[in-house]
Amino acid sequence: MSTHITKVALSATPLLLALTLGLAGCTADAAAPSSPTSAGDVHSTLATHGLEGLDARGVIDKLEATSLDQRPRDLMASVRPATLMLTDQSGQTSELPMPADEFYLSVAPYQNSSHDCFFHSLTTCLGELQDAEVEVTVTDSTGEKILDQKLSTNNNGFVGIWLPRNISGTLTISQDGKSATTQIATGDEDPTCLTTMKLG
């Protein structure tokens, strides 16, 4: 049985924080975000983790491109439709606004096992197919193909795609002759994490 479940490294981190981050990682429901802290706290959190000066898209792209063993173990970065929520080791939460015209969807295609997810966590979510080349196609509700590209899943097993905001359509992912297709949407109430695409 595969062990592709959410996990948080416990080294140099209090047990209570580890449990908190573990429960919040790869969020399975659409719980409302907590109240954000000040802009100064956001900048401090970013600087502490080598992300200084980056906006939400910059943080997401950098963390997704970072190998698992180099991703911050004391930072929870949860992608919501409108904000990127950052929680540090003290439990302090701050947030960055997402791009006004873009929606980030992170997808973990799988063959054997998966897990529930609603909001993607950049530091704790793990998928089955790590560093794998996949073909990704997105067609909107009018039939227009807005993405048709070979991409690679990141070291965490997820492939991230930036899509226009407030659309609905169809996503297809293929690999080695196997594929999966599902309906997607990119509105304010939609998930940023998709783990239900079994390749077959």
Q: For the whole model, what pTM was predicted?
A: 0.83
Range of the domain at 64: 36-97
Is residue 42 located within the same domain as residue 65? Answer: yes
Q: How many domains does the chain have?
A: 2
Is residue 87 located within the same domain as residue 55? Answer: yes
Q: Is residue 22, in this structure, part of any structural domain at all? A: no
Q: Is residue 165, in this structure, part of any structural domain at all? A: yes
Distance (Å, rounded) from C-alpha 19 to C-alpha 3? Answer: 18
Contact 77, 85 (CB under 8 A): yes
**The predicted structure's pLDDT at residue 41:** 84
**The predicted structure's pLDDT at residue 59:** 97
Q: Is residue 56, in this structure, part of any structural domain at all? A: yes
Is residue 93 located within the same domain as residue 108? Answer: no
Is residue 107 located within the same domain as residue 188? Answer: yes
Q: How far is CA 180 from the centre of its chain?
A: 19
Q: Is residue 123, in this structure, part of any structural domain at all? A: yes
Distance (Å, rounded) from C-alpha 57 to C-alpha 93? Answer: 18
Q: How far is CA 182 from the centre of its chain?
A: 18
Is residue 89 located within the same domain as residue 114? Answer: no
CATH number for the domain including 165? Answer: 2.60.40.3700
**The predicted structure's pLDDT at residue 169:** 98
Is residue 67 located within the same domain as residue 92? Answer: yes
Is residue 106 located within the same domain as residue 84? Answer: no
Q: Is residue 60, in this structure, part of any structural domain at all? A: yes
What residue ranges of the chain have pLDDT lower than 50?
A: 1-25, 32-36
**The predicted structure's pLDDT at residue 5:** 32
Is residue 111 located within the same domain as residue 54? Answer: no
Is residue 92 located within the same domain as residue 110? Answer: no
Is residue 112 located within the same domain as residue 93? Answer: no
Paired residues of 77 in beta bridges: 86
Q: Is residue 24, in this structure, part of any structural domain at all? A: no
Planar angle of CA 132, 138, 141, nearest 5 degrees:
160
Is residue 139 located within the same domain as residue 87? Answer: no
Q: Is residue 71, in this structure, part of any structural domain at all? A: yes
Of 97, 117, 147, the domain-final residue: 97
**The predicted structure's pLDDT at residue 40:** 59
Q: Is residue 7, in this structure, part of any structural domain at all? A: no
